[in-house]
Structure 1
Amino acid sequence: MTRDAGQMPEELERAQRFAWDMESLYGDDLVSVVLYGSAARGEYRRGASDLNVMVLVRELTPAALRRAGQRARDWVAQGNPTPLMLSHDEWLRSADVFAIEVADMREAYHVLAGADPFAGITVDPADLRLQCEKELKGKQILLREQYLLFAGEPAELGGLLVRSFSTFLVLFRTVLRLSGEAGVRDAEEVVLKVAARAGFNPGALLEVHRARASGQPPRPTADSPLAVGYLDAVDRVVTYVDRLVREGGAQA
């Protein structure tokens, strides 16, 4: 990109300036800086979305980490998540362990500085399948635990549904990849397509997504169609993925 960030959307401008700072700090040791997540998909919502950046350097020693410490603290102080820092070799060896994350990032990213880190990166469908099953079941258990705690507090329960939605959305996109439908970005389309495959009513998830986008979390009771429908949707997706894993049907 050029050094004129003034014509970019505000969130991209912030990410680009961070990337330029990384170039100044690391020089030839910098491999790439990448923006990924909702901003890269064009779904960034101020106050609800994060600016996710990954920084790859040739060697990630303690000294290399300290070099970016102050800039990383400034970045987090602006309300952004901590940058994902990896050495280039670690990144090249990550596709098997972080199959979901790599596959999801690969579908929507912007190179802000350096080389394209996804050139030559492949994801094994078996790795994707097993991680998806593990992550979905783990997040389902966590959702149930939080539902148990917040069942009598509508504001807390609504906040739980909104906070958990982005995590399940990533996993739902993975479910579509496993089912041969890679590249679906729009959140509502993801929900509708997964609902058709797993057999649940998408209404609760769509309502949570719209509430998240508006910045106005719902306040459902524990037995409301919204809360019950949300948990039921997750349960049906877990069952669907479990069947995929047992049958071995997956595509990356």
Structure 2
Amino acid sequence: MTQPTALDVPSEVQQLLQRYVKETTSLLGPQLEGILLYGSAVGGEFLPGRSNLNLLLMLSGYEREAIKRYAKAHKRWSREQFVVPLVVTEAELTRPRCLFPLEYLEIQEQHRVLWGRDPFIGLHIDRTHLAYQVQQSIQGNLVRLRQRYIEGGGTEEAMTMLLPLSLTALLPCLRGLQRLAGQPALYQSDALLTGIRAMTGLDLVGLGDVLELKRGIISPGPVEVPRLYERYADNLAALMAVVDSNGMVTPR
């Protein structure tokens, strides 16, 4: 398991996390056992003003009033780009035949303990359902992309927002494909896309373009945005077809 020695985020974000830890430990009291940060903030690809902050709260149990207190506070934290945290107990993490191996493997490999103890040290994550979850997540991503396109009225603004969100959700699935192929999971996005291109034989230019959009490198106009959407959606469909036909989600 790899874990960075320092947070790869600006100092103001580190200060924000310190305030979050102080308030959350007070709100949840003795049932809180650990606060873990994961995602781009520890993976080397945090984009100030663009990236969210992803956290896992490990509890000893679910005391409704304490959770309710936290829920009220989270409305404020969400304005600071804090995603609703994963809230789990250690028993749920260690349960046999884990139903969420993709998420837990991602956190185990890239996280930082902000407070309390680390439940992932020495944790064996059951990969029984990994292949199914990867396949379901890729297909679900494509379905949700179409759904959100309709919800957004097919506008340029809606497409510009939803494409980076879709790619963010897709990257862990691509690392899941690497794990299933017995390859190391790559957290640097450019290297990850290069590896998936080599694995599938697809050019995946749409995914690469959306990565540049997410980073603010390109700013496509009203004519190019629909074309970018089509390239990205076509890449997702092609990726799903290759995964289905080649049995790439069969564990090796």
TM superposition score normalised by structure 1:
0.83
Query: Residue 18 and residue 215 in structure 1: after superposition, are their counterparts in 2 closer, same or farther (change >3 A)?
Result: farther
Unaligned runs of 5+ in 2: 1-6
Deviations 1:140-192 (A, max 9, x none): 12223445677963343333322211011121121111122233110111111
Determine helix, strand or coil for the equivalent of 2:125: coil
Determine helix, strand or coil for the equivalent of 1:33: strand
Determine helix, strand or coil for the equivalent of 1:60: coil
Determine helix, strand or coil for the equivalent of 1:32: strand
Higher mean displacement: 191-200 or 145-154: 145-154
What is the CA distance between 1:72 and its match in structure 2? 2.5
Q: Does 1:40 align with 2:37?
A: no
Unaligned runs of 5+ in 1: none
- Residue of structure 2 in register with 1:59 after alignment: 61
Q: Of the candidates 2, 16, 21, which is equivalent to residue 14 of structure 1?
A: 16
Task: Give distance in 1, aligned partners of 2:139 and 2:160.
Answer: 21
Q: Does 1:141 align with 2:149?
A: no
TM superposition score normalised by structure 2:
0.83
Determine helix, strand or coil for the equivalent of 2:215: helix
Q: Of the candidates 98, 113, 116, which is equivalent to residue 115 of structure 2?
A: 113
- Residue of structure 1 in register with 2:162 after alignment: 160
Deviations 1:58-83 (A, max 9, x none): 11121231343443233223332222
What root-mean-square deviation, in Å, do the aligned CA atoms of Structure 1 and Structure 2 show?
2.8
Determine helix, strand or coil for the equivalent of 1:68: helix
CA contact (8 A) 1:59 1:88 kept: no
Query: Residue 217 and residue 92 in structure 1: after superposition, are their counterparts in 2 closer, same or farther (change >3 A)?
Result: farther
Q: Superposed, which structure 2 residues align to 1:1-252 within 5 Å?
A: 9-93=11-95, 96-147=98-149, 153-214=155-216, 218-219=220-221, 220-222=224-226, 224=227, 226-243=228-245, 246=247, 249-250=250-251
CA contact (8 A) 2:38 2:54 kept: yes
What is the CA distance between 1:121 and its match in structure 2? 2.5
CA contact (8 A) 1:172 1:190 kept: yes
What is the CA distance between 1:204 and its match in structure 2? 2.1
Query: Residue 248 and residue 36 in structure 1: after superposition, are their counterparts in 2 closer, same or farther (change >3 A)?
Result: closer
Task: Give distance in 1, aligned partners of 2:178 and 2:151.
Answer: 31
Determine helix, strand or coil for the equivalent of 1:125: coil
Determine helix, strand or coil for the equivalent of 2:239: helix
Identity rate, percent: 25
Aligned residues: 243
Deviations 1:19-72 (A, max 9, x none): 233333444432110001111112111222100111111111212313434432
Task: Give distance in 2, aligned partners of 1:49 and 1:175.
Answer: 24
CA contact (8 A) 1:107 1:183 kept: no
